[in-house]
Chain A
Amino acid sequence: MTLLTDDIRALVGRRKVYTAPEEFGAASGRYFGLAIGDHNPLYSDPEYARAQGLSGVTAPPTLICETNQYANLPLTPDGDAGHNWGIEIAGTRKVRGGNSYTFHRRIRPEDVITATWEIADATEKTTRSGSEMLIITSRATYTDQHGEVLAENEETIIFVSLEPGASGAGA
């Protein structure tokens, strides 16, 4: 039985758009730097940042792709408050495949982020051990309030069948 059902195929092209209710803020970048142990003064010292050619403090580049700040979604019982397609497939284990980021310019505190998520692809493969797996590729494009593209994020989520050749799928 295939994991790549018509229901799954029909998801390709689906989009969700989130616009943050406020500016990104300088504290968000400084807090993230503190949390990951990156004490680069670009995230906390405006004079230092300006001396390097920036307009002021910025955030660690990957933060825009890692944060749920813009989504403004309610917290689920499991603690999730981020973008989610809600795809659940019985008899599979969901794992992250990877990310591919493109950054166009550094984030500024005054940026108001809009994230546009789209399901770009759904493909099926077989693991070395013979299990079927479904690979869902999503693409997020992050823009500011002027429509300038700040970053892009392509990520893959993989659904691996728990039993070789005995999978059932549904969106």
Chain B
Amino acid sequence: MTYEAGQELPPLERRIGLADMIAYAGATWDWYRLHYDPEFVARQKLPAPVVDGQVFGALLVEQIQDWLGPRCFVHKLDFSFKALVFAEETVRCEGTVTEVGDDYLVLEQRVVVVGADGGVDRVAAGPAHARVLLGTPDGPGATSGTHSGTHSASGEAGAK
């Protein structure tokens, strides 16, 4: 597969229901009531339980890995929060290739809330930037599945 700047990533769309949010709370050991408790949410004067924004990072990685396959490694990812997302809303991850190297790609992504017409209602997180290594499935810090006990984190020269 060849890549070029300007190329769009296949979008990833996900409706986030209350049951998904409760599952996420359990999976992250984060049971903050803002994410599922209607009475707590009402006291905060919010219309519905709030999706934990950190899940957007997980969805951005999923979008990358679904596209590039299991031998890519997301080395760096950053994102800024822009708007709250509420239970039962649908989000969409969008992305574009901004730089192509011999063994890496740089991507710009964002997470949007999908409106009733399928368009963008608002940006939930963005801009996001990812640096993805190609052909490095276990990451640059891996030691072939064994622990030497002496390895230190290897920074990428020229990393974003």
Contact = CB atoms under 8 A, between A and B. Distances in A.
Interface of A: 28, 31-32, 34-38, 40, 42, 48-49, 52-56, 60-63, 65-69, 71, 75, 78-82, 95-106, 108, 144, 146-150, 152
A28 B26 CA distance: 10
Interface stretch (B3-11, B54-62, B101-109): B54-62
12 contacts: A35-B23, A37-B14, A62-B57, A78-B33, A96-B53, A97-B80, A101-B77, A103-B139, A104-B140, A106-B138, A108-B145, A148-B147
Contact of A78 (B14, B40, B147): B40
B24 to A, nearest CB: 5
Interface residues on B, range: 35 or more
A115 to B, nearest CB: 12
Interface string B17-47: 0001001111111111110010010000000
Chain A interface SS verdict (over half): loop
Contacts of B55: 36, 66
Interface in B109-160: 125, 137-143, 145-149, 151-154, 159
Contact of B26 (A31, A40, A150): A31
B40 to A, nearest CB: 7
A46 B76 CA distance: 25
A98 B138 CA distance: 26
Contact of B57 (A28, A79, A99, A149): A99
A31 B142 contact: no
Contact of A36 (B24, B33, B65, B149): B24
Given A68-B28, A101-B78, A36 B40 contact: no
Contacts of B75: 102-103
- Among A69, A82, A147, A148, the one with the most B-chain Cβ atoms within 10 Å of its Cβ is A148
